[in-house]
Structure formats: C-alpha cells, structure tokens
Amino acid sequence: MMKETIVLRVDSQKPDLEKIAIAADFIRKGMLVAFPTETVYGLGANALNAEAVLAVFEAKRRPLDNPPIVHVCNMKDVYRLIKEMPPNAEMLMKEFWPGPLTLIFKRSRIVPDVTVAGLDTIAIRMPRHNVALALIEKSCCPISAPSANLAGKPSPTMAKHVLDDLDGRIDAILDAGPTRIGVESTVLDLTVDPPQVLRPGGTPYEELRRVLGRVELNPIAIAEKPIPVERARSPGVKHKHYAPNADMVVVEGDSDAVVSKVKELIRLYDGEGKRVGVLATDETVRRYTTDVVKSLGSRSDLEGAARSLFRLLREFDADGVDIIVAEGVPVEGLGLAVMNRLRKAAGYNIVKV
C-alpha cells in the first residue's frame, strides 16, 4: 500500500524542533521515519513496538532473520534493554559514544522478538548526529533503525537515496543533507571473549585495539570469499548486500599492476559489448579512457573514500553501466570498511594482481 512520504528539511546542527516534534509524534504512533545519522540514513520505528518494527522489515523488504540496530540517545537507556553489562562495555560507551560503534549485548525481556529477529542478543548504538539524538529523545523510546535502503541496495548517504528506494513506503524523512562518514557503524560483539568485530565500519579496528587490547576480527569482516552461513555470526552477512544493479569486479594489488589489469578488463568487457564503469582513485583516474570513470578520492584519504562509496555505486546504476570495475584500496583505517563493502557488492568477484 502506498502512503504519502513527508519530507522534513532540517539543519543538521540545530534541527528545527517543530519538525523533530512532528517526526517524534509519528514514531510514538508506530509510524516509520527515516533520519540521518553520522554514518548513513536509518529507517526508524519504536523499538519496543513489535508491529512498528515489523513494518520496517516490510517497507525495506528485509528478511526477518536480520535484526536492525537499536538507537539510544543516552548511555543509561541501555540498561533496561540488556540482561547484563559485559566487562569493558561502559568504558567503550564512554570512549566511543555518541559515534559509529554498535555493541552487541545479551538482551532483556522487554525487547520484542521481532526487534532482535528472535535472537537472545541485541545491537545498540548512540549515533553522533544532532537530528538523530533529538528525534530519539523527543520520541521517548529507543529507535530500531536499519539503513534506510531497500534490502540488498547500497546504504543511503543522502535523503534522495532514501526516497529513490522508499518513497511511498514510509511516513516521513528528516532530510539534513549528506551524512559525514558514509559507511555504517562498526559492529562489535561483546558477548564473546575476546570481543569480535562482526562488521568493520565507521570506528576503525585500530582504535578498538588501542582501547581494548584484546579484540578479534571475525573472519567475515575481512572475507575475500563468501563465508558458510554457520560461521557467519552476524545474521546480516549472509544476505545479498550493497549491490548495485550492475555486475562488479574488484581488482586488488599494487597501483601500477591494478591499472594494467583494470585496462585489460575494460578491453575485455568492451569487446563483449558491455557498458563499463570504472571506480578509480585520484591517483589513477586519468589513466582510464572509458566514458564512465569515477574517483573514490585519494588512496591516502580513506575517510573520503568511505564518504563517497555508496553514492558512487548508486551513480553507476543511474549511468546504466553493465559492469563496474573497481580498484581496491588499502585495508587500514576506514579502508577496511570500504573493502568489506566493495568485496560484498562484487559478490566476492575479486581479482588479485
């Protein structure tokens, strides 16, 4: 059923409180509101209202076994959602919240099953964005929010992306312009010892290691091929993800070798009559002559690459390319999150040179 999606434009620093009040009223009534965070836009519903959370899954066409993240505006709101506070959790929250770090806890009884997809754990984070924080506070409830895209599509970093996927399927969107980080939060499982990164994201692994000492990267976080479902602790990882409509291949290795291989692939696909798009970097972008070439930014600015990645994947689709040939970037800092998304978007179609 189609509904009218109301667009509420707000300032990202000092949001108009009347518009926040309208959006919060929607949340309290069990309706669906997309809102910006520092990472990507989320599709929010009252996390304690099972029907509203179910409607989020339906709007996104998201498989019911993949739980969303619950967003809070305050550290103290975590206690009633969890069964016990694991060691290091309070220290991590003080160090990284508000910010792009999602923590996995054992969940409490007040959390509806659908909110956690029937698991006995819950993913919680406090976003670093004035609009998100104001919305959660005014709604007076924790807000369950997966990324505000149709399941399988790249996450939205602008309100336009949300509307392209969900216009007519949600009640409102708070539009505060492009998001700052561009990849989703890092998901850290605190129910295992040592803690494990299930999804690399906006909080670099190096930062977690500095603060925690002992922390592991789950194999799926650095996977170069699909991981068997039983080893994938984070439910989301087994589903198709971040995929543009175009096919995609990632070329990884030293810069010069990568450029040669990308050129070779362009010739190959051209010869097959395909429209080819290249995802390059500032250092290499001028070395390609095919008509659709986009740059992720400098190889030495991985934060910039993270910020542009999902927008560029969507732009390739708008350009109607059949295949995207993407250069890999170094797997350090936010580069790990970028490569995790690129490899998944390519369905692990990776060429190493």
Binding site for Mg ion (CB under 5 A): 147
Closest separation in Å from C-beta 78 to ligand TXA? 14
Judged by CB, which is closer to Mg ion: 198, or 258? 198
Judged by CB, which is closer to ligand TXA: 115, or 295? 115
Closest CB to Mg ion belongs to which residue? 147
Which of Mg ion, ligand TXA, none interacts with 66 (beta carbon under 5 to 8 A by kind)? Answer: ligand TXA
Q: Which amino acid is at 144?
A: S
For residue 61, give the nearest of 149, 143, 145 by alpha carbon.
149
Judged by CB, which is closer to Mg ion: 102, or 147? 147
Measured over the CA atoms of residue 231, residue 209, residue 311 and residue 156, the dihedral's sign is positive
Judged by CB, which is closer to ligand TXA: 12, or 121? 121
Q: Which residues bind ligand TXA (CB under 6 A)?
A: 37, 39-40, 42, 66-69, 100, 102, 104, 116, 119, 121-123, 127, 145-147, 184-185, 187, 198-199, 234-236
Which of ligand TXA, Mg ion, none interacts with 144 (beta carbon under 5 to 8 A by kind)? Answer: none
Distance CA 255, CA 289 (A): 17
Judged by CB, which is closer to ligand TXA: 117, or 293? 117
Which of Mg ion, ligand TXA, none interacts with 199 (beta carbon under 5 to 8 A by kind)? Answer: ligand TXA
Closest separation in Å from C-beta 349 to ligand TXA? 21
Closest separation in Å from C-beta 48 to ligand TXA? 16
Phi, psi (deg, nearest 5) at residue 226 = -60, 140
Closest separation in Å from C-beta 147 to Mg ion? 3
Judged by CB, which is closer to ligand TXA: 69, or 262? 69
Which stretch of DSSP H or E encloses residue 71? strand 69-71
One-letter-per-residue 3-state SS of 261-296: HHHHHHHHHHHCCCCEEEEECCCCHHHCCCCEEEEC
Closest separation in Å from C-beta 69 to ligand TXA? 5
Which of ligand TXA, Mg ion, none interacts with 187 (beta carbon under 5 to 8 A by kind)? Answer: ligand TXA
Distances (CA, A) of 128 to 47, 48, 165: 19, 22, 24
Distance CA 107, CA 83 (A): 5
Which of ligand TXA, Mg ion, none interacts with 191 (beta carbon under 5 to 8 A by kind)? Answer: none
Distances (CA, A) of 275 to 252, 261, 294: 22, 17, 14
Distance CA 113, CA 12 (A): 33
Closest CB to ligand TXA belongs to which residue? 236
User: Quick check: 198 and 205 in contact, CB under 8 A?
Assistant: no
Distances (CA, A) of 111 to 46, 80, 236: 11, 9, 19
Closest separation in Å from C-beta 87 to ligand TXA? 18
Judged by CB, which is closer to ligand TXA: 236, or 328? 236
User: Quick check: 234 and 217 in contact, CB under 8 A?
Assistant: no
Distance CA 44, CA 225 (A): 32
Closest separation in Å from C-beta 178 to ligand TXA? 14
Closest separation in Å from C-beta 242 to ligand TXA? 10
Which of Mg ion, ligand TXA, none interacts with 104 (beta carbon under 5 to 8 A by kind)? Answer: ligand TXA
Tell the burial category of 79 from Cβ atoms under 10 Å away from its Cβ (0-12, 13-18, 19+). exposed
Closest separation in Å from C-beta 195 to ligand TXA? 12
Judged by CB, which is closer to ligand TXA: 241, or 274? 241
Which of ligand TXA, Mg ion, none interacts with 89 (beta carbon under 5 to 8 A by kind)? Answer: none
Judged by CB, which is closer to ligand TXA: 123, or 251? 123
**Strand, helix or coil at 27?**
helix
